[in-house]
Structure 1
Amino acid sequence: MPEIAIIIPHYNDATRLARCLGALTENDLTGCEVLVVDNSSTQSLDAVRARFSDIRIVTEPEKGAAAARNRGVAETTAPRLMFIDADCVPAPDWVAVGRAVMDRADLVGGRVEVFDETPPPRSGAEAFEAVFAFDFRHYIEVQGFSGTGNLVTRRDVFADVGPFRGGVSEDRDWSFRATARGYRLIYEDGLRVGHPSRADWPALRGKWRRITQEMFGQTGRGAAARLKWALKALMMPASAVVHLPRVLRSPRLSGGRERARAAATLIRLRLTRMVWMLRQAAGLGI
């Protein structure tokens, strides 16, 4: 019986999936079963199958990463689960570190390092992501959840907590359900994967539109919940001002132009989110 099941949801991102699998095969995969769960992509995966013939790929017709991850758990048997996304790049020791830390807690989330896929200079979206994207330490130690792009847990924990739920921020929702049942979540900085930054405003806007929809789905539909959501929306401009010093002091940015682009994107995004959230609170959608 394998020791670890590595589950990778995928949809229409074959190039990045191949990069993910290429990096994964640099790890010691002894005792691992690796499963790619494809959400009925329209892109062909023939080249991926040919290059990685030892890695199993199954198709899940229900759309969404939640359904894909649930199918991945159902299709595997190992008592330990490691989740990574198809657009992530695991470090060469990702599996080894996962083995070393998986008994320290019921859920272990790791570090996600943002990298650019385009040559310099950075766009505003790339500069913004360099500062703000994927702060898993903050997610885990302050907000109490881990993203599933870099997560280690156990099959018995998953069976007790239940499957990922679609239509909400499934990693936040699942983490909160797990910790509410008494399971312990910790951060491990040595458990590292890379993730590409969003290259431009449309990509960044699409990411945050999805996140805003998912987060609203967890607030409830009553009048009190909508009022709270509207008040949170009205705080978005102030939050941009609060976070400006983080942009100006960030060691991840170089030069005044990058900082200016990141600052402008921060303000633009927070104002955009304010409009979306007010529309949601009014029942208009975004």
Structure 2
Amino acid sequence: MLNGDALPPVDVIIPVWNRPDDIRVCLEAIGRQTYPRELMNVLVVDNGSTDHTPDVVRGFAWATLLSEPAPGSYSARNAGIRHGTAPYVAFTDSDCIPEPDWLEKGIATLLQHPDAGVAGGDIRLFQSGADADPLVADYERLHALNQQRMTSANGCMTANWLSPRAVLEERGGFDSSLKSTADSELANRIGQSRKVVFAPQAVVQHPARGTRAELFQKERRTMGGRWQKYAEVSMGGWKRKLAIELAARMKRLALSDLDLRRKARIAVVDIKVFQVQLQELRRLGKGGEPSRD
């Protein structure tokens, strides 16, 4: 561990919405952190849960339960930023399981890179549930949850994100009007003047989508966030962009070390994702609201 006398206080911000079992496991993992407990201010922001999620959080005496009624995880994260006071801020998600040295390694990365505005830690997928589809996990490993690729393009996923507080406040936090992709949008803005670095030793375990239906719903939500973010793009422009992305995914799949049979099956999922994106694009073009979940 780093010298305890040199370690800064950290706000750990976790938004949650109707995930009582997940937030319990997440907070148990936070409780096992090697970072000194007295330097961790754990803020769980409930985003309008209608079940017993808040009661679960209250069972962890060292965690502070906040409430943000405005729907959307980015509104909840902004509420956590406003409430916190520590010079550094770490984000993870309620369904994630940080490794015991996650915070220690993440803060070490920021201290080693004083010109960095964001440190994105590694996100490793695990499958949960007897009905989990291994092809969905393969798809997400290849295309979705690659934090190294994200940070190399000045992006970052909030499942594993650390920043100096001053940087977040200077940039005004997350764009809470977006239901999805506001993490990459904020990281892009920060990346215009500060470094976005990868922290490979700061590891968070993230569940893969269990089923294809869950994967496709995630793609609908993400499409809605992108639609909001790039409102100036024409329908034809969107179709070309999605086709180019499909081609890039197919190339990445072809170059992967998976066997031919699995590649063929994942290619089918890739094509279905493309079809789901086009369907959601048409719905949004007719005035539909972006999905929250």
Contact 2:132 2:211 (C-alpha < 8 Å) held by counterparts: no
Listed one character per residue, the Cα deviations across residues 109-153 of structure 1 (whole Å, up to 9, x for unaligned) are: 1111111113487354333223222111111103x2111111111
2:85 aligned partner: 77
Q: Secondary structure at the match of 2:215?
A: helix
In structure 2, relative to structure 1, the CA distance for the partners of 1:121 and 1:58 (3 Å cut) is: closer
* 1:117 and 2:111 aligned: no
1:107 aligned partner: 118
Of 138, 142, 150, which residue of structure 2 is paired with 1:139? 150
Give aligned pairs, total. 276
2:175 aligned partner: 165
Q: Give the TM-score normalised by the residue count of structure 1.
A: 0.87
Contact 1:80 1:154 (C-alpha < 8 Å) held by counterparts: yes
Which consecutive segments of 4 or more residues in structure 1 shift more than 6 A? none
Q: Secondary structure at the match of 1:153?
A: strand
Of 34, 39, 42, which residue of structure 2 is paired with 1:28? 34
Question: What RMSD, in angstroms, separates the aligned Cα atoms of the two structures?
Answer: 2.5
Amino acid in structure 1 at the alignment position of 2:74: A
- Cα distance in 2 for residues equivalent to 1:249 and 1:65: 35
Amino acid in structure 2 at the alignment position of 1:269: V
Q: Secondary structure at the match of 1:107?
A: strand
Contact 2:43 2:65 (C-alpha < 8 Å) held by counterparts: yes
Q: Give the TM-score normalised by the residue count of structure 2.
A: 0.85
Tell me whether 115-124 or 212-221 shows the greater mean CA deviation: 115-124
Listed one character per residue, the Cα deviations across residues 178-207 of structure 1 (whole Å, up to 9, x for unaligned) are: 223x12211111111111111112211111
Residues 9-88 of structure 1 aligned to structure 2 (within 5 Å): 9-30=15-36, 31-45=39-53, 48-49=56-57, 51-88=59-96
Listed one character per residue, the Cα deviations across residues 8-49 of structure 1 (whole Å, up to 9, x for unaligned) are: 011011111111111111112421111100002011036524
Contact 1:127 1:261 (C-alpha < 8 Å) held by counterparts: no
1:184 aligned partner: 195
- Cα distance in 2 for residues equivalent to 1:80 and 1:266: 38
* 1:263 and 2:270 aligned: no
Where in structure 2 are there 5+ consecutive unaligned residues? 1-6
Q: Secondary structure at the match of 2:191?
A: helix
- Cα distance in 1 for residues equivalent to 2:49 and 2:67: 9
Listed one character per residue, the Cα deviations across residues 93-124 of structure 1 (whole Å, up to 9, x for unaligned) are: 10110221122122111111111113487354
Of 9, 16, 36, which residue of structure 2 is paired with 1:3? 9
Contact 1:233 1:275 (C-alpha < 8 Å) held by counterparts: no
